[in-house]
Amino acid sequence: MASDHDLLWRRCAHLGRVLLPVVDQEAWRQARRHEHLGAWGINIVEGERLIEVFAALAAHAVAIDTSVSAAELDVLPLSAVADAATGKRDFELLAGLPDTFADGRDELAVKVFRLYAYRGGQYSLQLIRLGTELRRALTVLAERSRMPSPTCGHVFFWAAAAGLSSDHGDQMS
């Protein structure tokens, strides 16, 4: 059985994976994001995967900072995740991660993020740009919501309503 810390990471990773598809329910948003990534010289597939892991890292950092468990991740406000995406230093987002990852994709994406963070220069600039793109996506969802302060739980609900596949990262047992 996985520890709560591992479950927390899995739920954060799942949030990252469903975030962009939920935002892209308005198809033009994906085209605009692809334009931004292209203009910045970022490969679209790599850039979107880094945005996904950035979302997971930001949510995880806020959850750790506020002592939110995997079961309580649903109550985490999107605004707090957005603030972490652009307000926390790269190394702060990497603190407190699990020692091992159940999903090799997550492990690889975190390693790429870590490499970008420690290489500095243009790579740090790319992370700043990706963080801004993540914040934009979270802001879009917050503005689209009928709720005054939407949470991570709302993103999971919207993803399920859109028929986006659930995966092991969003299961609590």
In a domain, 29, yes or no: yes
In a domain, 129, yes or no: yes
What tokens appear for 166 in the block? Answer: 């659930």
Q: Which of 118, 111, 124, 94 is nearest to 9 (CA)?
A: 94
Number of domains the chain contains:
1
> What gap in Å lies between CA 126 and CA 18, rounded to an integer?
22
In a domain, 11, yes or no: yes
- What's the pTM? 0.91
Where in the sequence is the domain holding 118, given as residue range(s)?
4-165
Taking only the tens place, the pLDDT of each residue in 63-116 is: 999 999 999 999 999 999 999 999 999 889 998 888 888 888 899 999 999 999
In a domain, 173, yes or no: no
> What gap in Å lies between CA 137 and CA 7, rounded to an integer?
24
